[in-house]
Chain A
């Protein structure tokens, strides 16, 4: 059944959108990532204009993280204080990101920016996560206890230290704010929640325990993507609510299934699986940049717009 999307101005199969939403939703629930890093490129592939894909993804992630965040709040696996600190940075970053997005859109380089950001971030994070997870699995096989990740020296010497009781850590607020800003910029530019960068940053940089990481990141993502949606809606008019609703109906149901699957798997297994998916998406996008495209010309809205 084809459906005409009012803002994207294209006609797409509604079941394809529901299916995409469901598939990405399962991953979203399992890993505590918004799933946008997978959904946004998939939307490009089915012919949604990139600007609409990025803005609409932000709207969809609000909903998919909402149900996930609720589930984690009930299980008390959210560090609210840390969430608010990350959120403060996220709002600043999102505002900055939309500015960058609009400036590059005007000179026709926004797609390059989006693709390059994906390749760089997904490649780095995916590679690091993969190596770490392999080491962890090897450790558990040889029977040695897993070491607690050491915080970097920088985190210890920075001022404005405060206690995050739920996480059981005592660190400066500067690193979480910086992580929040970075995630906010990425949310606005790439149409992602930023979980794929925030989750590893929380574990390796902030030294938070794994059990509160997913809930806290969902909490922050929900608000930052909400703010990003409003910014894109008011400056670009690119949020397609019909597209978002179709994606999220599939996505929310998928997320519920995914959360339950995730609870049964071990943290190392989860991380190695996520890293493989991240690397696959990165590889596909890198290939698109390196291989000569079949059509080297592209159309954009004219200068008169």
Chain B
């Protein structure tokens, strides 16, 4: 028994003994009527039983991602003198929101092989198989470019403050045009480009109150929602004109 315990201790090299412990300032984002984006503070520490290894420094990567969904990317071309959608590529799965932050320049933090294995960098987080059109990478590039412009994709190298290889903190800004769903935050601890430890936690992004009521009604009882919309419109229309008349006389 003692020998077995000793064996386990020996098998666990100092590298494996480093563990990431992390938390978020909020694990629940509520989309209310006055929702104007939100900022999540991410912080944590590296727990280790042994002294800090003297070789290459420890690095950290953090991703925050929204639910993935298929996206069609279309490209316009000039036909008969006007610009129309000509070619299209279906991207099988792209996250609706994706932020990745690192503690150092990209190539110092992670190797390509590890990136491929864990789908960390933004192009890796997008899956596009079976694209039949030549140059389909232009389309995925465009997808990233457009969503980066909308603040939905954020790539922030070196944005994590990592002190004494133990304490780290960063923040991720969630834009106002956020979609609801089950989001997750992933933490990767790396050394020499290899992932040493990882940790994952969920963020619940939900519409609440009036937003939730209207959204659900529009999906579950669209006819009732439609009639309600009309009733509200007509009442407001009649009410406002009646108010205007009273105001004038």
- The interface of chain A, by Cβ under 8 A from chain B, is 1-4, 6-7, 9-11, 59-60, 62-64, 66-67, 70-71, 108-109, 111-112, 116, 226, 229-230, 232-234, 237, 239, 241-242, 244-245, 248-249, 252-253, 255-256, 289-293, 295-305
Contacts and interface: CB of A to CB of B under 8 A. Distances in A.
Interface string B77-102: 11001111100101110000000000
10 contacts: A7-B214, A62-B237, A241-B233, A242-B210, A242-B214, A248-B233, A256-B241, A293-B76, A295-B142, A302-B72
B14 interface: no
A7 B218 contact: yes
Contacts of A10: 176-177
A169 to B, nearest CB: 30
A304 B73 CA distance: 13
Contacts of B20: none
A83 B77 CA distance: 43
Contact of A290 (B81, B88, B215): B81
B82 A289 contact: yes
A256 B36 CA distance: 33
Nearest to B213: A6
A64 B238 CA distance: 9
Interface size class of B (residues with CB under 8 A): 35 or more
A234 B146 contact: no
Interface stretch (B3-11, B27-35, B187-195): B27-35
Contacts of A297: 73-76, 139, 142-143, 145-146
A230 B225 CA distance: 9
A292 B35 CA distance: 35
A226 B241 contact: no
A18 B33 CA distance: 16
A3 B34 CA distance: 5
Nearest to B228: A241
B232 interface: yes
A62 B230 contact: yes
A230 B227 contact: yes
B237 A67 contact: yes
Given A70-B241, A256-B244, A299-B72, A241 B142 contact: no
A233 B214 CA distance: 12
Residue picked from A233, A249, A304, most chain B C-beta under 10 Å: A233
B241 A6 contact: no
Contacts of B232: 241, 244-245
Given A4-B34, A63-B233, A255-B241, 13 more contacts: A6-B210, A7-B214, A10-B176, A59-B230, A63-B234, A66-B237, A229-B229, A230-B230, A249-B240, A252-B244, A299-B74, A300-B72, A303-B72
Contacts of A229: 226, 229-230
Given A4-B176, A305-B70, A248 B237 contact: yes
B86 to A, nearest CB: 9
Contacts of B35: 4, 11
3 closest pairs, A vs B, by CB? A302-B70, A233-B226, A63-B237
B57 interface: no
Contact of B69 (A11, A226, A253, A302): A302
Given A229-B229, A252-B240, A298 B74 contact: yes
Contacts of A245: 232-233, 236
Given A297-B74, A299-B71, A59 B244 contact: no
B37 interface: yes
A228 B88 CA distance: 30
B211 A300 contact: no
B34 A234 contact: no
Interface string B108-145: 00000000000000000000000000000001001101
B41 interface: no
Contacts of B240: 67, 248-249, 252-253, 256
Contacts of B234: 62-63, 66
Residue picked from A111, A256, A292, most chain B C-beta under 10 Å: A256
B39 to A, nearest CB: 15
A11 B76 contact: no
A239 B218 contact: yes
Contacts of B92: 302, 304
B83 A293 contact: yes
A11 B36 contact: yes
B76 to A, nearest CB: 4
Contacts of B32: 4
A194 B62 CA distance: 52
Contacts of B143: 297, 299
